[in-house]
Chains A and B, each alone.
Chain A
Amino acid sequence: MPKLPHIHKVLVIGSGPIVIGQAAEFDYAGAQACLSLKEEGVQVILVNNNPATIMTDEQLADKVYLEPLTLESVTEIIAKERPDGLLPTLGGQTGLNLAVALSEAGVLQKYNVELLGTPLAAIQNGEDRELFKQLMQQIGEPVPESDTVESVEEAIAFANSIGYPVIVRPAYTLGGAGGGIAADEPSLRKVAAGGIAASPIGQVLIERSVKGWKEIEYEVMRDANDTCIIVCNMENLDPVGIHTGDSIVVAPSQTLTDRQYQMLRSVSTKVIRSLGVVGGCNIQFALDPLSDQYVLIEVNPRVSRSSALASKATGYPIARIAAKLALGFGLDEVTNPITGYTYASFEPSLDYVVVKIPRFPFDKFPLADRKLGTQMKATGEVMSIARNLEAGLLKAVRSLEQGCTHLVRPELAAWTREQLSVALQEATDIRLFVLAEAIRKGFTEEELHSLTGVDPFFLRSVRKIVDLEAELASCAGRDLPTDLLRTAKKRGFADETIASLTGSTSAQIKAARKEAGIAPTYKIVDTCAAEFDAQTPYYYSDWQGTDEVEALEGRKVLVLGSGPIRIGQGIEFDYCSVHAAKSLQASGIKAVVVNNNPETVSTDYETADHLYFEPLHVEDVLHIAEHEQVEGVMVQFGGQTAINLAAKLERAGLKILGTSLEAIERAEDRELFYDMLRKLDIPHIPGKGVSSQEDAAAIAEEIGYPVLMRPSYVIGGQGMAVVHDVTELTATINDWLNHPDSSSFFPLLVDKYVPGREAEVDAVCDGEQVLIPGIFQHVEKAGIHSGDSVALFPAPELSAEVKQKIESYTEAIAREMGAVGLINIQFVIDGSTVYVLEVNPRASRTVPITSKVTGIPMVQLAVRAQLGEKLQDMNFGTGLLPEIPFAVVKAPVFSTVKLNGVDPALGPEMKSTGEVLGLGRSFAEAAGKAFAFKDNMYGDWQAGSLVIVSLTDSDKQAGVAATLAQMKEEGAVFAATAGTAAWLAEHQIEVAHVLEQDAQLVSLLQQEKAAFALVTATKGNRHGRLGFALRSRLVQQGVPLFSAVETFELYVQSILKKRGGSHAASEDIGTLTQLAAQQA
């Protein structure tokens, strides 16, 4: 069937900010879909308020709305743009929920918008567990016995009838948020209550648990002509019981016979047909390891994290093809872009094995509950491709960038058998490492299997690695046999690992390899196991056979990606990597990209000239650089990951383009950095690097408390803390010393804590001049991580003098460092003093935002500068540019609800997983959009709405009282903790409920829904206080929370503005930047 003739303009809904369960995969899917639609001559209107995405680039859609993903806002966009069709299945759960809301509100009908691709009924049949169960019963397919309930008592009654354990799955939540497994009635009481609260419709499914069965997934595509294909199947190494997003996954399945594979394949096509999906669909099964019995666990009638993984694992671009199917094409009419001449109606055949390992945020949240279950906790993932499972596992481990080159976590060496047994039984993020350690300590396969439920096939693969370690270790002190070296490389061992096992050095191992002619070969990912010719430049390394890389003609440069999404290093660096590759190409230079994150646009085979799906580990990167003979490497765009590799790469002889390594070290090494600032006569916060606890205390005494302490070479402020006295200082340092990676905590930086206003800039430098598109001003006071601050652009409240200082300091620093490319500088402003807080010699979180709102293509200019061009020849200006004539508010988005034990209060450690943008003609307007970035979020409160307040003494200020009084006038009803209530009374603000303890809050919330809460924190962020308990409770109950008074004040302003009747219009970014251009 050809393209639907009446569809000329299509609205695509993105997935909004990155949260756990909904990450960069939807940028990849959305970007592909937009290009795929445009290829067919369709006009694309995109709405997504996540500024760090490639899909919100102007080149990808005809109009881009960085507007809230709410019913109200999207309705307005539809009314304005009048699209013919809406493609809802590419924006994750957010997009899907919004499409359902638009349809139910009659908006689609009113404006005659056709829902493209999968019909609404299919979405509902797949998403609503009760409807899904009914449908499966109709077609005779088994699902676990289950019942949908809306109260804890119903849940218990049903569980008693089917027996424990049971799984609790909340309806319509991301990544299974709020769910869990309950082994008995008391635990069900707890889990069910949490699940009901987490579900936007207050509904959970109680389901018989098939914990321990094999978990198998199929990615299926179907066209309107009923042709179905399987893109990929996957097997979870972790059996049923751990969310698939938190499981180690391999593709294709490894332990299924063809009969079983085909049985589940046939069921998959039967299910997708009965749903009527047009596009992609993910189907999850549980398969009994001891029979062919299976049950369907879940269906996602849309592109998903799994489909992104399947696309990268096979080379089959699911989202791209789903978009074509939505336009009416058949699978046999769409060519497979990998081969260019076979068709999309084809099932990929893999000739390699793919391993995915999730990346967890527990390094940032040492107090979080690390146990894995049905609620997803990972922020990102890595993928590796290899010709054997062991190499796949080890490459993936290296890609995680958690300080482990090999399947070893040093702290486990001291663990007892009992400790290991517990860690095997209760899966956490480190179970794979525990498995290896347990094998080293002599656990038998039977023991391991009974403790973990992991299939013996996978256990043996880990054992093979451990056996090979022992064999290598037995060669310590004598010559390493070439065959053994070859085997170790083939099984994915890094030179570094082989060296440490054999008691030699990486350099010696490398030399031995060179001498024996052992070098990696690179193979193509081609969807067809070499059956057809493929030109796709998509490679992975192997240590056997022939090499398939076709040499690139002309100049070529290596671009390092940023690896898995983690807190502090998000999708923004993927945006920068992609633009770096594109900019190189625009300058006529071939881009060779290395990355291992399957969710991203940078690992789309269409981004680079040559894409290497490999660990961002020095050895792996060097192999590629050598193989490609690149002229240099760009390290500024892949976040801290790439910067951290710079020194090692340069030492190995690779040329670092742009800012020199010496300059990078001058910014990263605190002593050198302060020396530089002193030389330039730029104020810096008093402080010093120390290497012992005694020195830290002495310095703190000297500069005066409170002090901010932070370890060197960090990402996202890991381990930062503000301490107020020597007791806190001692406690914090002791905590760090107990950490496994304690070696990296010294030198420790101790700075005076200055509670001023923070500002930051991103600048392009050419070694002489700088271009500063604008200044971000942070709403919250210093001491809150810049990634978690609400930021205003262009800075509205800085004096001309301060702005001038920021400009001149930036210029001076850039020139002194000889910075070429991007630089990010953070400032603290105390009166008219401007302190320089830190300099990041690389792209930053705010680069995509600045680029989008000012129209200055910062990455492109940085790349051109690194290639030797001068700013004055680029015609975008120099110095601090004039301010744009509209307001931009960036707000952080948190996933703390998924992470038990993490205090949601803002502090010096970054906690947010994503961000949103609000654009408007005033900051109040823009802030309103940023706060209400999705429905039911900081929603409008009515007169009579309950607001919960608890303030620390330092926050009990007149300004806050005035804001609260204003709210009181608007009809807010307050509940407050005792001290805060007393203080409010002093200000004649009446409090309806005084909260003495956590339990009172619980009972209050059971009676009444709270509109939002303001619970501030002492800067030490210490656990065990009532404030922490309240905040955790509020987040778990889904009550929007403010923990800084400045954010709260901005929020109230935005609400009052809205109440004043001023309506913030939805404007697309193109129109807004044109305004800026006109002004300039």
Chain B
Amino acid sequence: MNRENTGHGTGYLTLESGEVFTGTLYGALIGGVGEVVFHTGMTGYQEVMSDPSFAGQIVTFTYPLIGNYGINEQDFEAAKPALTGMVVSELCNEPSHYQSQKTLAEVADQYGFPILAGIDTRTITKRVRQDGPLFGVISDRILTAEEVVSLRNKHAKKSLVADVSTQQIVRYAGSGEHIVLVDLGMKTSILHALLELECQVTVVPFDTPISQIKELQPDGLLFSNGPGDPEHLLAYCSEWRKLVEQYPTLGICLGHQVLALMYGAKTEKLKYGHRGGNHPVKELQTGKVYMTSQNHGYVVKEESLDKRQLMVSYRNVNDGSVEGLRHLSLPVFSVQFHPEAHPGPSDTSHLFHQFLQSMRVVGANRYA
């Protein structure tokens, strides 16, 4: 009679504090271990689910109705999800949309991650905001705080980029500039944004030697978004800097953070990250404010920047944090937010044009 789907029975989210949230389990009971973060987008759960930057994280949606329009073929940001779990309030198991192919729960089953539904996600959000970062485990039993902490320690200090970066070089034809996209955990929408501008794109694994990248003869480089602590990539930064000094470069999200690291800056973890589609950033040169899509837990420490090399170009309107950098003399710039959108607003899509423009200026100088 009651068609409220009962999923796989009762499940629990245990936080490292020992606090337990009880709900209903859906999807596969694999993983379910990670940092608990919250996303404030009211749409875009499919993109969030498949964004590799969420590797190692349990994503809580603040919007309570999730799954309403199902899962379609076109909105995957990667071939498979990298997150370790989802926590939602109301999971819709009867989606309604002309493009819908499957329910969110079916996809969770297929790709192997758990969804805990029926949770007061607002309480979790407040907990993360007040006490974050918080580690948690979704399970079919209640864990002890000690168990959660030991799982956290097991997962710490591990770079997640290797798990989500492409294993081999992939080429995409195009009539325009050739861009080498260093895949740190790239969202497909970045690739699509470049292809839409008719770029030729070569996606390379994050650990591709720079000699090999040079051989590809790029017109420009793009360091993508990706998961985890940017300082796990410090080892690569000095090499990458050599590349950046040679080619016009755009860094997005993790790509922005590693660009700062290349120039000697430091990054730090935010208490509870920016994850959603409503983050205002101000372009300092024009005073214009844009709504941006964001997904990051780390941020560039402004006081660590070498201001003789890099200047802050964008700033978060709410907390004043660094949202963009520009090299003072080279055609190198980066943004903490996601100009490729998906999910979230595409107000800053012009950054890709700017990137192309910088290559054209360099090209004109070089071949003049």
Contact = CB atoms under 8 A, between A and B. Distances in A.
Contacts of A389: 65
A229 B277 CA distance: 12
Interface stretch (A84-92, A339-347, A643-651): A339-347
B42 A252 contact: yes
A388 B287 contact: no
A470 interface: yes
A342 to B, nearest CB: 5
B1 A351 contact: no
A1035 to B, nearest CB: 42
Contacts of B42: 252, 261, 349-350
A47 B111 CA distance: 63
A610 B90 CA distance: 28
Given A346-B317, A353-B65, A531-B40, A258 B96 contact: no
A226 interface: yes
A252 B99 CA distance: 20
Contacts of B291: 228-230, 346-347
Contact of A343 (B89, B94, B318): B318
B98 interface: yes
Interface in A859-906: none
Interface in A66-124: none
A460 interface: yes
Contacts of B347: 228, 266, 269
A467 B3 contact: yes
Interface string A449-465: 00000011100100110
Given A289-B98, A349-B42, A349-B62, A545 B343 contact: no
A349 B278 contact: yes
Contacts of B97: 255, 257
Contacts of A35: none
A257 B43 contact: yes
Given A225-B287, A257-B75, A332-B317, A387 B62 contact: no
Interface string B38-71: 1011111011000000000000001111001100
A530 B125 contact: yes
A692 interface: no
Nearest to A347: B278
Interface residues of B, number: 57
Given A226-B288, A258-B47, A353 B64 contact: yes
A551 interface: no
Nearest to A226: B288
A262 B346 contact: yes
A261 B41 CA distance: 11
Contacts of A343: 280, 317-318
Given A258-B41, A258-B75, A460-B94, A529 B125 contact: yes
Question: Which of B63, B64, B68 has the largest number of chain A CB atoms within 10 A?
Answer: B64
B242 to A, nearest CB: 37
Interface string A515-533: 0000000010000111111
Interface stretch (B116-124, B142-150, B203-211, B350-358): B116-124
B1 A471 contact: yes
B63 A330 contact: no
A331 interface: yes
Contacts of B341: 262
Interface string B71-96: 01011000000000000011010111
Contacts of A523: 122
Given A290-B98, A529-B125, A349 B64 contact: no
B280 A332 contact: yes
Interface string A232-258: 000000000000000000001111111
A529 B346 CA distance: 21
A456 B70 CA distance: 13
Contacts of B345: 262, 265-266, 347
A265 B346 CA distance: 9
A342 B74 CA distance: 35
Contacts of A262: 43, 341-346
A349 to B, nearest CB: 4
Contact of A227 (B41, B62, B288): B288
A926 to B, nearest CB: 50
A352 interface: yes
A821 interface: no
B72 A531 contact: no
Contacts of A1003: none
Nearest to A331: B289
A545 B75 contact: no
Nearest to B90: A388
A252 B290 CA distance: 21
A67 B203 CA distance: 70
B43 A256 contact: yes
Nearest to A546: B123
B129 interface: yes
B40 A349 contact: yes
Contacts of B68: 254-255, 457
A82 B94 CA distance: 61
Nearest to A265: B345
B276 interface: yes
A528 B2 CA distance: 33
A464 B3 contact: yes
A529 B62 contact: yes
Contacts of B120: 387, 542, 544-546
B141 interface: no
B303 interface: no
B40 A255 contact: no
B342 A259 contact: yes
Question: Which of B74, B75, B288 has the largest number of chain A CB atoms within 10 A?
Answer: B288
Interface string B262-292: 0000000000100011101010000111110
A471 B98 contact: no
A343 B288 CA distance: 14
Given A342-B318, A529-B40, 12 more contacts: A258-B47, A262-B341, A265-B345, A346-B317, A351-B125, A387-B64, A457-B95, A467-B3, A470-B1, A531-B38, A531-B40, A531-B276
18 contacts: A227-B289, A228-B347, A230-B291, A256-B43, A257-B97, A258-B342, A258-B344, A259-B74, A262-B346, A330-B289, A346-B318, A347-B345, A351-B40, A353-B64, A387-B90, A388-B64, A456-B94, A531-B62
Interchain residue pairs A-B with the least CB separation, the first 4: A545-B120, A258-B44, A529-B62, A347-B278
